[in-house]
A and B are shown apart, each in its own frame.
Chain A
Amino acid sequence: KNEVEQSPQNLTAQEGEFITINCSYSVGISALHWLQQHPGGGIVSLFMLSSGKKKHGRLIATINIQEKHSSLHITASHPRDSAVYICAVHSNRDDKIIFGKGTRLHILP
Protein backbone atom coordinates (compact mmCIF):
# COMPACT_ATOMS: atom_id res chain seq x y z
CA LYS A 1 0.00 0.00 0.00
CA ASN A 2 1.36 3.41 -0.95
CA GLU A 3 2.13 5.72 1.92
CA VAL A 4 0.44 8.60 0.10
CA GLU A 5 -2.85 7.89 -1.67
CA GLN A 6 -4.71 10.35 -3.86
CA SER A 7 -8.26 10.20 -5.13
CA PRO A 8 -9.60 10.35 -7.68
CA GLN A 9 -6.88 9.29 -10.13
CA ASN A 10 -8.66 11.03 -12.98
CA LEU A 11 -11.32 13.71 -12.94
CA THR A 12 -13.18 15.38 -15.80
CA ALA A 13 -15.49 18.27 -15.01
CA GLN A 14 -17.27 21.16 -16.70
CA GLU A 15 -15.96 24.69 -16.49
CA GLY A 16 -17.28 26.42 -13.39
CA GLU A 17 -17.61 23.29 -11.27
CA PHE A 18 -16.23 23.01 -7.73
CA ILE A 19 -13.38 20.49 -7.68
CA THR A 20 -12.08 18.46 -4.74
CA ILE A 21 -8.98 16.28 -4.79
CA ASN A 22 -8.16 14.18 -1.76
CA CYS A 23 -4.90 12.97 -0.24
CA SER A 24 -4.49 10.45 2.58
CA TYR A 25 -1.18 9.47 4.09
CA SER A 26 -0.03 6.87 6.58
CA VAL A 27 3.22 8.34 7.93
CA GLY A 28 3.91 11.06 10.44
CA ILE A 29 4.64 14.29 8.65
CA SER A 30 6.17 17.67 9.24
CA ALA A 31 4.53 19.23 6.17
CA LEU A 32 2.35 18.45 3.17
CA HIS A 33 2.72 19.94 -0.30
CA TRP A 34 0.29 20.33 -3.17
CA LEU A 35 1.97 20.56 -6.56
CA GLN A 36 0.65 21.26 -10.05
CA GLN A 37 2.22 19.75 -13.14
CA HIS A 38 1.25 20.86 -16.62
CA PRO A 39 1.90 18.87 -19.82
CA GLY A 40 5.56 19.27 -20.66
CA GLY A 41 6.63 18.55 -17.12
CA GLY A 42 6.96 21.86 -15.29
CA ILE A 43 5.97 21.60 -11.62
CA VAL A 44 4.68 24.49 -9.55
CA SER A 45 4.33 24.39 -5.79
CA LEU A 46 0.79 25.49 -4.88
CA PHE A 47 0.75 25.09 -1.12
CA MET A 48 2.81 23.88 1.79
CA LEU A 49 0.72 23.05 4.88
CA SER A 50 1.41 21.80 8.35
CA SER A 51 -1.99 22.61 9.84
CA GLY A 52 -5.32 24.23 9.08
CA LYS A 53 -6.20 25.83 5.79
CA LYS A 54 -4.62 28.04 3.14
CA LYS A 55 -6.21 29.96 0.27
CA HIS A 56 -4.68 31.41 -2.86
CA GLY A 57 -7.06 32.84 -5.41
CA ARG A 58 -9.51 30.09 -6.42
CA LEU A 59 -7.47 27.38 -4.71
CA ILE A 60 -7.99 26.22 -1.14
CA ALA A 61 -6.00 23.55 0.67
CA THR A 62 -6.92 22.00 4.00
CA ILE A 63 -5.23 19.47 6.22
CA ASN A 64 -6.43 17.37 9.17
CA ILE A 65 -3.36 16.08 10.97
CA GLN A 66 -5.32 13.76 13.28
CA GLU A 67 -7.09 12.07 10.35
CA LYS A 68 -3.96 12.19 8.13
CA HIS A 69 -5.93 13.71 5.30
CA SER A 70 -5.69 16.76 3.08
CA SER A 71 -7.94 18.18 0.39
CA LEU A 72 -7.31 20.58 -2.48
CA HIS A 73 -10.34 22.52 -3.68
CA ILE A 74 -10.69 24.56 -6.86
CA THR A 75 -13.61 26.95 -7.04
CA ALA A 76 -15.06 28.14 -10.36
CA SER A 77 -12.83 25.75 -12.31
CA HIS A 78 -11.44 26.84 -15.66
CA PRO A 79 -9.88 24.90 -18.57
CA ARG A 80 -6.49 26.37 -17.66
CA ASP A 81 -6.73 24.42 -14.37
CA SER A 82 -6.32 21.22 -16.41
CA ALA A 83 -3.16 19.60 -15.08
CA VAL A 84 -1.91 16.84 -12.82
CA TYR A 85 -2.16 17.67 -9.13
CA ILE A 86 0.30 15.91 -6.86
CA CYS A 87 0.22 15.56 -3.10
CA ALA A 88 3.58 15.12 -1.35
CA VAL A 89 4.38 14.69 2.32
CA HIS A 90 7.55 15.38 4.21
CA SER A 91 8.02 12.38 6.48
CA ASN A 92 9.21 13.16 10.00
CA ARG A 93 10.43 9.55 10.29
CA ASP A 94 13.36 9.89 7.87
CA ASP A 95 13.05 13.46 6.64
CA LYS A 96 12.26 12.32 3.08
CA ILE A 97 9.55 13.51 0.75
CA ILE A 98 7.01 10.96 -0.48
CA PHE A 99 4.75 11.65 -3.46
CA GLY A 100 1.28 10.51 -4.34
CA LYS A 101 0.63 9.21 -7.86
CA GLY A 102 -1.22 12.37 -8.85
CA THR A 103 -4.73 13.29 -9.96
CA ARG A 104 -5.21 14.12 -13.63
CA LEU A 105 -7.78 16.92 -13.91
CA HIS A 106 -9.45 17.88 -17.18
CA ILE A 107 -11.81 20.86 -17.24
CA LEU A 108 -14.06 21.04 -20.28
CA PRO A 109 -15.06 24.47 -21.65
Chain B
Amino acid sequence: KAGVTQTPRYLIKTRGQQVTLSCSPISGHRSVSWYQQTPGQGLQFLFEYFSETQRNKGNFPGRFSGRQFSNSRSEMNVSTLELGDSALYLCASSLVVAPYEQYFGPGTRLTVT
Protein backbone atom coordinates (compact mmCIF):
# COMPACT_ATOMS: atom_id res chain seq x y z
CA LYS B 1 0.00 0.00 0.00
CA ALA B 2 1.40 3.41 -0.92
CA GLY B 3 2.21 5.74 1.96
CA VAL B 4 1.10 9.30 2.55
CA THR B 5 2.33 11.60 -0.19
CA GLN B 6 2.78 15.34 -0.05
CA THR B 7 3.42 17.76 -2.87
CA PRO B 8 5.46 19.74 -3.44
CA ARG B 9 8.34 18.61 -1.24
CA TYR B 10 10.10 21.98 -1.32
CA LEU B 11 8.77 25.44 -1.97
CA ILE B 12 10.19 28.93 -1.90
CA LYS B 13 7.75 31.83 -1.76
CA THR B 14 7.96 35.56 -1.21
CA ARG B 15 6.36 37.39 1.70
CA GLY B 16 2.79 38.37 0.86
CA GLN B 17 2.20 35.53 -1.59
CA GLN B 18 -0.10 32.59 -0.95
CA VAL B 19 0.66 28.88 -1.13
CA THR B 20 -1.31 25.64 -1.46
CA LEU B 21 0.07 22.34 -0.20
CA SER B 22 -1.39 18.95 -1.08
CA CYS B 23 -1.65 15.70 0.85
CA SER B 24 -2.81 12.31 -0.43
CA PRO B 25 -3.59 9.89 2.42
CA ILE B 26 -3.12 6.15 2.48
CA SER B 27 -5.88 4.45 0.50
CA GLY B 28 -8.87 3.85 2.77
CA HIS B 29 -7.85 6.43 5.34
CA ARG B 30 -10.52 9.04 5.89
CA SER B 31 -8.89 11.34 8.41
CA VAL B 32 -6.15 13.81 7.51
CA SER B 33 -4.35 16.07 9.97
CA TRP B 34 -1.91 18.88 9.26
CA TYR B 35 1.00 20.01 11.43
CA GLN B 36 3.57 22.78 11.33
CA GLN B 37 7.11 22.15 12.57
CA THR B 38 9.57 24.97 13.28
CA PRO B 39 12.87 24.94 15.20
CA GLY B 40 11.45 27.36 17.77
CA GLN B 41 7.96 25.99 18.39
CA GLY B 42 8.43 22.36 17.45
CA LEU B 43 5.41 20.48 16.13
CA GLN B 44 2.04 22.22 16.33
CA PHE B 45 -1.39 20.99 15.30
CA LEU B 46 -3.02 22.94 12.47
CA PHE B 47 -6.27 21.12 11.66
CA GLU B 48 -7.95 17.75 11.23
CA TYR B 49 -10.37 16.76 8.50
CA PHE B 50 -12.67 13.77 8.36
CA SER B 51 -15.15 13.03 5.57
CA GLU B 52 -14.67 16.49 4.03
CA THR B 53 -15.41 18.27 7.32
CA GLN B 54 -12.99 20.17 9.50
CA ARG B 55 -13.22 18.36 12.80
CA ASN B 56 -10.75 20.39 14.81
CA LYS B 57 -8.49 23.40 14.45
CA GLY B 58 -5.32 24.52 16.22
CA ASN B 59 -4.42 28.02 17.37
CA PHE B 60 -3.36 29.50 14.06
CA PRO B 61 -4.58 32.71 12.39
CA GLY B 62 -7.26 32.65 9.73
CA ARG B 63 -4.58 32.92 7.02
CA PHE B 64 -4.22 29.16 7.45
CA SER B 65 -7.06 27.18 5.93
CA GLY B 66 -7.66 23.76 4.54
CA ARG B 67 -10.12 21.46 2.92
CA GLN B 68 -10.67 17.80 2.19
CA PHE B 69 -12.09 16.30 -0.97
CA SER B 70 -14.43 13.36 -1.42
CA ASN B 71 -11.47 11.07 -2.19
CA SER B 72 -9.94 12.10 1.20
CA ARG B 73 -7.13 14.08 -0.41
CA SER B 74 -6.53 17.31 1.46
CA GLU B 75 -5.06 20.70 0.73
CA MET B 76 -3.96 23.46 3.03
CA ASN B 77 -3.60 27.07 2.03
CA VAL B 78 -1.65 29.88 3.61
CA SER B 79 -2.45 33.38 2.41
CA THR B 80 -0.39 36.54 2.82
CA LEU B 81 2.74 34.63 3.73
CA GLU B 82 4.98 35.93 6.51
CA LEU B 83 8.62 35.11 7.18
CA GLY B 84 7.52 33.19 10.28
CA ASP B 85 5.51 30.77 8.14
CA SER B 86 8.77 29.17 7.01
CA ALA B 87 8.47 25.64 8.33
CA LEU B 88 8.09 21.97 7.57
CA TYR B 89 4.41 21.21 6.98
CA LEU B 90 3.46 17.62 7.68
CA CYS B 91 0.27 15.81 7.04
CA ALA B 92 -0.77 12.53 8.59
CA SER B 93 -3.58 10.16 7.80
CA SER B 94 -5.48 7.61 9.85
CA LEU B 95 -8.34 5.22 9.28
CA VAL B 96 -10.73 7.10 11.52
CA VAL B 97 -10.62 10.20 13.70
CA ALA B 98 -7.97 10.63 16.37
CA PRO B 99 -6.95 9.21 18.73
CA TYR B 100 -5.79 6.61 16.25
CA GLU B 101 -2.41 5.63 14.91
CA GLN B 102 -1.31 8.21 12.37
CA TYR B 103 0.88 7.73 9.32
CA PHE B 104 2.95 10.76 8.40
CA GLY B 105 3.92 12.05 5.00
CA PRO B 106 7.45 13.27 4.20
CA GLY B 107 6.47 16.91 4.60
CA THR B 108 6.66 20.05 2.51
CA ARG B 109 9.48 22.41 3.42
CA LEU B 110 8.29 25.97 2.85
CA THR B 111 10.73 28.84 2.84
CA VAL B 112 9.37 32.39 2.81
CA THR B 113 11.81 35.11 1.74
Q: Look across to chain A and name the residue whose beta carbon is closest to the beta carbon of B37.
A: A41
Q: Tell me what chain A mostly uses at the interface: helix, strand, loop, or mixed.
A: strand
Compute how far the CA of A99 lies from the CA of B38 in the bound complex, rounded to whole angstroms: 12
Query: Scoring A residues 4 to 36 as 1 if CB is less than 8 Å from chain B, else 0, what string do you get?
Result: 000000000000000000000000001101010
Within the complex, what minimum Cβ distance (angstroms) separates B63 from chain A?
Answer: 19
Known: A41-B88, A43-B104, A96-B58. A88 touches B98 (CB 8 A): no
Residues in A neighbouring B55, C-beta threshold 8 A: 95
B13-21, B39-47, B69-77, B78-86 - interface stretch: B39-47
Compute how far the CA of A31 lies from the CA of B37 in the bound complex, rounded to whole angstroms: 21
Partner of B98, one of A42, A44, A90, A99: A90
The B-contacting residues of A in range 34-69, CB under 8 angstroms, are 35, 41-45, 48, 50
Whether A42 lies near B106 (C-beta < 8 A) is yes
Does chain B have a CB within 8 A of A97? yes
Q: Tell me what chain B mostly uses at the interface: helix, strand, loop, or mixed.
A: strand
Compute how far the CA of A30 lies from the CA of B90 in the bound complex, rounded to whole angstroms: 22
Whether B104 lies near A45 (C-beta < 8 A) is yes
Residues in B neighbouring A45, C-beta threshold 8 A: 101-104
Residues in A neighbouring B92, C-beta threshold 8 A: 43
Q: Look across to chain B and name the residue whose beta carbon is closest to the beta carbon of A4.
A: B42
Whether A48 lies near B104 (C-beta < 8 A) is no
Within the complex, what minimum Cβ distance (angstroms) separates A61 from chain B?
Answer: 13
A interface residues with partner B (beta carbon < 8 Å): 30-31, 33, 35, 41-45, 48, 50, 86, 88, 90, 94-102
7 A-B contact pairs sorted by A residue (CB < 8 Å):
A41-B90, A48-B99, A86-B43, A90-B98, A94-B56, A95-B55, A101-B42
